[in-house]
């Protein structure tokens, strides 16, 4: 079988899938990406392309991402034509829809079935855009920009023969007309590799040594430290906890770039701004930047408490990995997390916008850690049962192979739906006709009208 994968941040969601398919010597796996990473998957033919072309200055700013997506798509289509001339015609194409890479691929391979990864559909109401600060009203410009950005997503949806998204809530933000062609299936984490470790102490890269007996260790992880993952709220809690708990130390993993939201030209990184704004004892907060997977796993396992926050947005892999590690997770009560876990059963939740409430939950754990040990065990069991890549990967492979054989709708989609019913995941979320609000309730008016600007 011949497989073609498209994702600019190789290997991303396809790490396990591409590796598994490439293990079969009868398969040919080609992966298009534009970032030459050190990660190498045995048997996968990785093809790099340069997608960048300067957007003409007279292009409306609201259309710039769509235009850039078109440029990317041209690069991909040219590569596909080269493959075709070399005799490689895929049996199936698997692509992420967010950047436009697959716009024109059907012009080269019109008869090849395509599975698209539908990560998020943007809205001016009841998702990330109007969440912070509370009751934020999006501007006309915000609505215009995201509407055009969604055009990339929509085009790829209608190019696809079938689609996939990792959570029911992420499916719910898509227009209801799109739901019937979107299967909910998380890519999973390796629960054998990311598992509880018996660590009593840790030596940080700067030489600082911390141990669980003498220090109260709180951990926090983001890809980049930014508002979408609550770093500003986290830091306000750090200021208060440090004053109340003299032995409290914070270990933070994450860079100073911007993964989500908008990067303002000339603006200092959020970490620097928060350190300037707040009274933080920098000797008791340890910023490690980006770390190896091994060091990341050690950080997850050394903490008395692990703090995770998010806007109503895509669910982080690191959240599921913190569950798999048996962390005592303290997290915001936002929709992606409310779908994945239950308060006081797997995690302790708090209102995203309330740093005082976050502090109170941390104090509970630090004062009586044994009281919450069941939550750690439940969190680990949840990850093993519902987010285990070894259980989910065969379903991904079967779904892709269904499409390769031209079975549309794919029979595996029903099997996946039955799995969700078994876990009770779709009792509420499957009823969605649009997006839920921040607390999981269906809003009275979902689609913004002109006067909402």
Structural domain contains residue 89:
yes
445 has a pLDDT exceeding 80: no
Indicate if 124 and 162 belong to the same structural domain.
Answer: yes
Indicate if 428 and 369 belong to the same structural domain.
Answer: no
433 has a pLDDT exceeding 80: no
* Distance in angstroms (rounded) separating the CA atoms of residues 182 and 176: 10
Indicate if 355 and 432 belong to the same structural domain.
Answer: no
Q: Give the structural domain span for 304.
A: 201-386
Tokens of 272: 């620097």
Helices (H), 269-367: 270-277, 293-302, 317-324, 335-340, 355-367
The structure tokens 């979408």 sit at: 228
Confidence label for 450 from pLDDT (cuts 50, 70 and 90): very low
Task: Name the CA radius of gyration of the chain, rounded.
Answer: 22
Helix then strand then coil, % of the chain, to nearest 5: 40, 15, 40
Helices (H), 23-135: 64-85, 105-108
pLDDT number for residue 427: 53
Indicate if 404 and 301 belong to the same structural domain.
Answer: no
pLDDT number for residue 142: 85
229 has a pLDDT exceeding 90: yes
Structural domain contains residue 194:
no
Indicate if 24 and 164 belong to the same structural domain.
Answer: yes
| pLDDT, average across residues 177-206 | 95
* Distance in angstroms (rounded) separating the CA atoms of residues 165 and 289: 29
pLDDT in tens, 367-399: 999 999 999 999 999 999 999 999 999 999 999
Tokens of 112: 């090849």
Which of 1-5, 62-66, 175-179, 287-291 is least confident? Answer: 62-66
* Distance in angstroms (rounded) separating the CA atoms of residues 234 and 243: 15
Q: How many domains does the chain have?
A: 2
* 434, 447 Cβ separation under 8 angstroms: yes
pLDDT in tens, 233-288: 999 999 999 999 999 999 999 999 988 877 777 889 999 999 999 999 999 999 99
Indicate if 182 and 296 belong to the same structural domain.
Answer: no
Structural domain contains residue 193:
no
Tokens of 99: 């950047």
Look at residues 331, 364, 386 and tell me which one is the last residue of a structural domain. Answer: 386
Helices (H), 3-50: 15-22
Structural domain contains residue 170:
yes
- Sorted by sequence, the CB contacts under 8 Å of residue 218 that are 6+ apart come out as 241, 248, 249, 250, 251, 303, 304, 305, 306, 307, 362
Indicate if 234 and 373 belong to the same structural domain.
Answer: yes
Q: Strand 201-203 and strand 305-308: pairing?
A: unpaired
Phi first, then psi: give them for residue 245, nearest 5 degrees.
-125, 95
* Distance in angstroms (rounded) separating the CA atoms of residues 192 and 334: 28
Share of the chain above pLDDT 90, in %: 76
CA distances from 319 to 57, 130, 378 (A): 40, 23, 14
* Distance in angstroms (rounded) separating the CA atoms of residues 125 and 245: 39
Identify the CA nearest to 322 among candidates 191, 133, 171, 156. 191
Look at residues 351, 370, 386 and tell me which one is the last residue of a structural domain. Answer: 386
150 against 447, higher pLDDT: 150
* 253, 289 Cβ separation under 8 angstroms: yes
Confidence label for 426 from pLDDT (cuts 50, 70 and 90): low
pLDDT number for residue 278: 98
Share of the chain above pLDDT 70, in %: 93
pLDDT number for residue 62: 82
10 has a pLDDT exceeding 60: yes
CA distances from 267 to 31, 142, 255, 287 (A): 36, 20, 15, 20
* Distance in angstroms (rounded) separating the CA atoms of residues 68 and 174: 23
pLDDT number for residue 441: 40
Indicate if 173 and 28 belong to the same structural domain.
Answer: yes
Identify the CA nearest to 191 among candidates 375, 317, 42. 317
- Sorted by sequence, the CB contacts under 8 Å of residue 313 that are 6+ apart come out as 120, 127, 128, 228, 260, 336
Question: What CATH number should be reported for the domain holding residue 363?
Answer: 3.40.50.2000
Structural domain contains residue 177:
yes
Mean pLDDT of the chain: 90
Structural domain contains residue 172:
yes
Residues counted in the chain: 453
The structure tokens 């340890």 sit at: 286
3-class DSSP state for residue 118? coil
pLDDT number for residue 59: 82
Structural domain contains residue 295:
yes
Indicate if 155 and 245 belong to the same structural domain.
Answer: no
Indicate if 335 and 433 belong to the same structural domain.
Answer: no
| pLDDT, average across residues 221-231 | 96
Look at residues 348, 363, 386 and tell me which one is the last residue of a structural domain. Answer: 386
Indicate if 436 and 423 belong to the same structural domain.
Answer: yes
pLDDT number for residue 63: 85
pLDDT in tens, 396-411: 999 999 999 999 999 9
Indicate if 378 and 414 belong to the same structural domain.
Answer: no
* 173, 127 Cβ separation under 8 angstroms: yes
pLDDT number for residue 425: 67
| pLDDT, average across residues 90-99 | 95
pLDDT number for residue 449: 28
pLDDT in tens, 291-325: 999 999 999 999 999 999 999 999 999 999 999 99
């Amino acid at each position: 079988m011949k497989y073609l994968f498209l994702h600019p941040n190789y290997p991303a969601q396809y790490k396990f899938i591409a590796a598994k398919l490439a293990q079969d010597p009868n398969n040919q796996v080609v992966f298009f990406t534009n970032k030459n990473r050190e990660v190498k998957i045995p048997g996968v033919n990785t093809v790099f392309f340069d997608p960048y072309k300067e957007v003409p200055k007279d292009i409306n700013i609201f259309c710039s991402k769509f235009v850039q997506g078109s440029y990317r798509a041209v690069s991909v289509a040219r590569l596909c034509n080269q493959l075709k001339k070399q005799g490689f015609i895929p049996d199936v194409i698997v692509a992420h829809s967010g950047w436009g890479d697959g716009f024109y691929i059907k012009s080269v391979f019109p008869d090849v079935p395509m599975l698209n990864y539908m990560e998020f559909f943007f809205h001016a109401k009841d998702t990330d855009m109007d969440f912070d600060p509370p009751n934020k009203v999006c501007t006309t410009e915000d609505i215009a920009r995201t509407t055009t950005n969604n055009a990339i997503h929509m085009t790829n949806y209608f190019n696809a023969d079938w689609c996939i998204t990792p959570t029911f809530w992420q499916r719910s933000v898509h227009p209801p007309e799109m739901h019937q062609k979107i299967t909910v299936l998380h890519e999973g984490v390796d629960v054998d590799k990311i598992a509880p470790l018996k660590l009593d102490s840790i030596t940080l890269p700067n030489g600082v040594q911390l141990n669980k007996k003498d220090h109260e260790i709180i951990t926090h992880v983001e890809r980049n430290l930014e508002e979408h993952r609550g770093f500003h709220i986290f830091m306000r809690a750090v200021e208060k906890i440090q004053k109340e708990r003299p032995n409290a130390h914070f270990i933070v993993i994450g860079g100073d770039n911007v993964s989500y939201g908008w990067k303002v030209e000339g603006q200092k990184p959020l970490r620097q701004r928060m350190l300037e704004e707040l009274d933080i004892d920098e000797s008791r907060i340890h910023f490690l930047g980006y770390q190896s997977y091994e060091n990341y796993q050690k950080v997850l396992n050394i903490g008395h408490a692990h703090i995770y926050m998010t806007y109503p947005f895509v669910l982080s892999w690191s959240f599921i990995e913190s569950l798999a590690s048996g962390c005592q997770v303290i997290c915001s009560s936002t929709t992606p997390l409310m779908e994945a876990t239950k308060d006081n059963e797997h995690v302790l939740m708090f209102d995203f916008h309330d740093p005082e409430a976050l502090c109170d939950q941390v104090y509970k754990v630090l004062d009586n850690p044994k009281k919450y040990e069941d939550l750690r065990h439940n969190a680990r069991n949840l990850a093993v049962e519902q987010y285990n890549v070894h259980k989910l990967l065969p379903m991904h492979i079967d779904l892709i192979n269904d499409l390769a054989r031209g079975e549309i709708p794919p029979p595996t989609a029903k099997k996946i739906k039955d799995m969700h019913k078994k876990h009770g995941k779709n009792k509420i979320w499957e009823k969605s006709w649009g997006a839920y609000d921040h607390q999981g309730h269906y809003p009275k008016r979902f689609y913004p009208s002109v006067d909402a600007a």
